[in-house]
Amino acid sequence: MMNKLGLNGFQVSGMKVLMRVDFNVPLDADRNITDETRIVAALPSVKYILSHGGSVILMSHLGRPKGKIVPELSLRPVADRLAELVDGPVKFARDTVGPDAEDKAAGLQPGEILLLENLRFNPGETKNDEAFGAALAQLGDTYVNDAFGAAHRAHASTVGVTKYFETCRAGFLMEKELKNLGGLLGEPERPFVAILGGAKVAGKVEIILNLLEKVDTLLLGGGMIFTFFQSAGLNIGSSLLDEESLEVVKEITARAKDSRADLILPTDCTVATEFNDKSERKDVLVTDIPSDWMGLDIGPVSAQSYQEIIRGAKTIFWNGPMGVFELPSFAAGTRTVADAVAQASDDGALSIVGGGDSVAAANQFGVSDRIGHISTGGGASLELMGGRTLPGIDALSDAKNGV
């Protein structure tokens, strides 16, 4: 799955490259881009194609317009910012497969960039509609996917379009993601420690079960720990409970006893009377959560224990915060984990942060530049680590004889 054709050595001179990118960036109320990380991440592939005599037709989604034209979710602001980043003009099509896109793609010259309007304005995108995929394919001569963040979706722009090209390649960002995450699934250096957090167990069952057979230690935190405690018969007060996952938590706990990994839950937690930064708070053992209190972070004893385990790791995968880190009163657990991952990285460990809130936490605590690899796809990285085949990657051409 990981050994896919890439861009290096690809002769693109005179070709129009249809490239799927992930420009699903956050916009404020005035439609200003508040985080351009995903645009910047696509630049190496774009610049490679342009510098080797090709032109590029970029396509991306933005938000969830659900097949309807939503002006607030237009990619026009992205086209404007991309033009500044490449220091050159970027053409923008007012549609995806309509007359404007077709005319501008037909007239594209070597060295030029065209960005199509939001793919999800067309209902055929998320349905992987055959006609929509075929129409997209008509715009370019070859296909490249550099959108790891959308690789877990079987959409027209990630899967359907690929059947119309002889070869479909991975862009540099896609290759980087596959190399780093693929290394964790192969023969990682040990000890291999995974840290999983977040609100609910649902959505992380597969990755937990898969990691139990791959890692040496699996540390759990975040709101989902209280479902484990409830399953074990403990009182969790008014803490978050993923009631639908109670039975599967029992299965996970049972499987962990015979698995390769040590599954570790916090022994203490920080609780509060209300979900706000000013509420009364205290640290208690997980066996002593008061009835009307809610757990909002792992406790200091557990944070220290987690820190020591992480510092001893050679390979680290982290996805999900330990608590409500956005509120200063409940950020200590996540900050301690973030610092520990950074310190282990400084000492030579391979560290990968799997997207989502973990990236926000790494940025908030100022350790991002010390992490080995920060994934651009939270959902995609989770599914990959959960042992799933990602359709957007599976659809790409396999490399043969190292080419």
Domains of the chain: 16-176 (3.40.50.1260), 187-385 (3.40.50.1260)
Look at residue 1 and tell me whether its pLDDT is greater than 60: no
Segment 188-213 shows an average pLDDT of 92
Segment 53-82 shows an average pLDDT of 96
The pLDDT value recorded for residue 2 is 67
Q: What is the mean pLDDT of the chain?
A: 94
- The angle formed by the CA atoms of residues 127, 128 and 129, to the nearest 5 degrees, is 85
pTM here is 0.87
Q: Which long-range contacts (CB under 8 A, 24 or more apart) does 239-242 make?
A: 239/271, 239/289, 239/293, 239/294, 239/295, 240/199, 240/200, 240/294, 240/295, 242/199, 242/200, 242/201, 242/202
Look at residue 401 and tell me whether its pLDDT is greater than 60: no
CB atoms inside a 10 Å sphere around CB 216 = 18
Give me the active site residues, please.
38, 200, 356, 379
- The residue among 250, 163, 161 whose CA lies nearest residue 201 is 250
The pLDDT value recorded for residue 3 is 86
Peptide bond into 191 cis (omega under 30): yes
CB atoms inside a 10 Å sphere around CB 323 = 28
For residue 243, what is the DSSP state? G
Instruction: Please indicate whether residue 355 or residue 279 has the higher confidence score (pLDDT).
Output: 279
Contact between 295 and 324 under an 8 Å Cβ cutoff? The reply is: no
The pLDDT value recorded for residue 403 is 46
pLDDT digits (tens, 9 = 90+) for 252-272: 999 999 999 999 999 999 999
pLDDT digits (tens, 9 = 90+) for 98-121: 999 999 999 999 999 999 999 999
